[in-house]
Amino acid sequence: MATLGVNIDHIANVRQARKTVEPDPVQFAFLAELGGADSITVHLREDRRHIQDRDVFLLKETIKTKLNLEMAATEEMLEIAKKTLPDYVTLVPEKREEVTTEGGLDVKSNLEYLKNFVGNLKDSNIEVSAFIDPFSEQIKYSKDIGFDFIELHTGKYSELSGSKQYKELQRIIESTHLANDLGLIVNAGHGLNYNNVKKIASINNMNELNIGHSIVARALAIGLEKSVREMKSLITSN
């Protein structure tokens, strides 16, 4: 049975929109854990558009589950990871102009660099995952590089429907089986929501699903009425 990693980047997006102190993603991580989250995921981007360095360090010190730090394979991020010591790091591609991560890491084209980078993280006892598209070549190179995990990019699956989505699902299933045969632990994520998650969760030996946007959107929907009522009560209680 797959576990659930909750990505709280979008909580930080709301905070950074006003450059203020709330909502605090660290506090929301506690709520996610209360709801049953098995790990907390954050992406510390080069431009610090949402999660900040302070968030990463506080989360490591305070959460009760596991911290998954998504980051680009840069020297700056390597130093932060080695200081923070998250439970594991997921290496992702990163472009400044993208709204969210648009595709998987091309491990084949960065073979030697990634071998050294991953080795450096593992020297600090940090397990390392590669966020990749569900292609056999990328999976095999991930094994050669020395990754402990892979996270299969489910964005294409999430965008498709009908027979095209079924075909993409089969590719994810086959990729999971191949990775397992090679000794890699398999996670998956990107674009998963309340309507499409079950088929991915039911894949044999799927370890963890990382989901953020749809959970935060759902929280706004089911929690907004209560928060408005509380504010209305304060205003009208004089």
pLDDT given at position 86? 98
Domains and CATH numbers, the chain: 3-236 (3.20.20.70)
Evaluate whether 129 touches 89 at the Cβ level (below 8 Å): yes
Closest CA to 105 of 120, 95, 97: 95
Is 46 a catalytic site residue? no
Is 43 a catalytic site residue? yes
Is 177 a catalytic site residue? no
pLDDT given at position 207? 97
Catalytic residue from among 10, 43, 50, 153:
43
In this predicted structure, the answer to whether residue 98 has a pLDDT above a threshold of 70 is no
Catalytic residue from among 10, 50, 70, 151:
70
In this predicted structure, the answer to whether residue 232 has a pLDDT above a threshold of 90 is no
pLDDT in tens, 118-165: 999 999 999 999 999 999 999 999 999 999 999 999 999 999 999 999
3-state secondary structure at position 121: helix
Which residues lie closer than 8 Å to 66 by C-beta, 6 or more apart?
5, 38, 39, 40, 87, 88
Biggest alpha carbon–alpha carbon distance for the chain: 68
Q: How sure is the predictor about 100, in pLDDT bands with cuts at 50, 70 and 90?
A: low
In this predicted structure, the answer to whether residue 170 has a pLDDT above a threshold of 80 is yes
Catalytic residue from among 10, 50, 153, 190:
190
Angle, helix 9-18 to helix 213-236, in steps of 10 degrees:
50
Report pTM. 0.93
